[in-house]
């Protein structure tokens, strides 16, 4: 059996020969705003032939959990593969509005999909395909307004 031993070089005060490998480092460019809004997902027409969502009743059980200028986070009962292009229909809820709210449609691409629970529940990280679109600005403004509002844990806004 051969063991691989690695000896790290001593750190130099001037860091002149230090190589920083940032390939695996994830950084955020935008601040997230936590919220809870009901949403529906559908496959973007560009990927309609490559991906089909088999459980139509599950498409509407998606919750937007955070929003930023660069993308949004979802809790979703279905697995969505990385690089899949989606249309996300977000229903906005503001005080004084009726139960219907307003629907914002966003073009996105899946960047991350992590299983949170065996129910199943997946946390999906999406990036906008059209950065700076008026719909994104509206959703971020709503997230900013709602970030200090307590989220009711049992609030079911999917109905």
Give me the CATH number covering residue 106: 2.40.10.220
pLDDT digits (tens, 9 = 90+) for 31-41: 888 888 999 99
For residue 96, tell me if it sits in a domain.
Answer: yes
For residue 159, tell me if it sits in a domain.
Answer: no
Domain range for 83: 33-146
Do 104 and 39 meet the contact criterion of CB atoms below 8 Å apart?
no
pLDDT digits (tens, 9 = 90+) for 113-147: 999 988 889 999 999 998 889 999 998 888 888 76
Distance (Å, whole) CA 66 – CA 75: 10
Whether this prediction's pTM lies above 0.75 is answered by: no
Do 60 and 40 meet the contact criterion of CB atoms below 8 Å apart?
yes
Do 47 and 94 meet the contact criterion of CB atoms below 8 Å apart?
no
Task: Give me the pLDDT at residue 5, please.
Answer: 47
Distance (Å, whole) CA 118 – CA 154: 19
For residue 79, tell me if it sits in a domain.
Answer: yes
Mean pLDDT calculated for residue range 21-43: 76
Does a cis peptide bond (omega within 30 degrees of 0) precede residue 111?
no
pLDDT digits (tens, 9 = 90+) for 5-14: 444 444 445 4
Distance (Å, whole) CA 135 – CA 105: 7
Structural domain count, the chain: 1
For residue 1, tell me if it sits in a domain.
Answer: no
User: Which pair of structure tokens corresponds to residue 34?
Assistant: 């936590």
For residue 122, tell me if it sits in a domain.
Answer: yes
Q: Residue 19: CB partners within 8 Å, gap ≥ 6?
A: none
Distance (Å, whole) CA 126 – CA 73: 6
For residue 90, tell me if it sits in a domain.
Answer: yes
């Amino acid at each position: 059996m051969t063991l691989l031993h690695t000896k790290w070089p001593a750190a130099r005060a001037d860091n002149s020969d230090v190589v920083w490998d940032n390939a695996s480092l994830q950084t955020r460019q935008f601040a997230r705003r936590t919220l809870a809004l009901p949403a529906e997902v559908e496959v973007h027409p560009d990927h309609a032939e490559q991906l089909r969502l088999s459980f139509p009743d599950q498409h509407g059980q998606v919750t937007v959990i955070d929003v930023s200028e660069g993308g949004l986070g979802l809790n979703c009962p279905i697995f969505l593969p990385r690089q899949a292009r989606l249309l996300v229909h977000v229903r906005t809820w503001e005080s004084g509005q009726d139960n219907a709210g307003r629907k914002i449609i966003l073009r996105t691409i899946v960047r991350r999909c992590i299983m949170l629970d065996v129910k199943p529940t997946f946390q999906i990280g999406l990036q906008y395909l059209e950065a700076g679109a008026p719909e994104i600005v509206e959703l971020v403004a709503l997230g900013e307004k709602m970030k200090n509002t307590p989220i009711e844990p049992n609030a079911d806004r999917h109905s």
